[in-house]
Amino acid sequence: METVQPKPNRPTTEQKDTTMSKFSNAALRLTAGALILDAGVKKLKADEGTYAFLQQMAATGVPAVSKLDAATFGKLISGAETALGATLLTPFIPARLAGAGLTAFAANLMTMYFRNPDMHDATFRPTQDGQQLANNIVLLGAGLALLGSKK
């Protein structure tokens, strides 16, 4: 009688899916988090003219921000971006929570794109001025992907 040798321990499909999910979440969080953290830190040192420009752009998507003074708006937006970037880069914060923050942030960026007719043509294709803002749709996709993760 022949003895059957047990197969070496191999990861199950579920274990492979979990590993891949963790890797893809880490990739999304690392890239988006580093980008947003850098933008927030740079804005901390901006002058009031820069804050006024950013506030004017933001007001096209969220009109209520025009009620703030430029310096207050600048400090709030730089603090929010810095906090969101740090949240995305912190591994023990659940992916869904980080994804919720990223989705909200990116959705607000996209409102600036859609509500400002100078940013796109009649079919919503970006104009030269709107190209950089339109690229934020990638952040929206990353946020939605994190929201849909299992953990």
Q: Which domain holds residue 98?
A: 27-147
Query: For the segment 130-140, what is each residue's pLDDT rounded down to a tens digit?
Result: 888 888 899 99
The answer to whether 147 and 103 have CB atoms below 8 angstroms apart is yes
Judge whether 101 lies within some domain. yes
pTM of the entire structure? 0.81
Selection from 99, 109, 110 nearest residue 142 by Cα: 99
Judge whether 21 lies within some domain. no
Judge whether 116 lies within some domain. yes
For the chain, how many structural domains are there in total?
1
Q: What is the spatial distance between Cα 140 and Cα 19, in angstroms, rounded to a whole number?
A: 23
Query: For the segment 75-117, what is each residue's pLDDT rounded down to a tens digit?
Result: 999 999 999 999 999 999 999 999 999 999 999 999 988 888 8
Judge whether 93 lies within some domain. yes
Judge whether 99 lies within some domain. yes
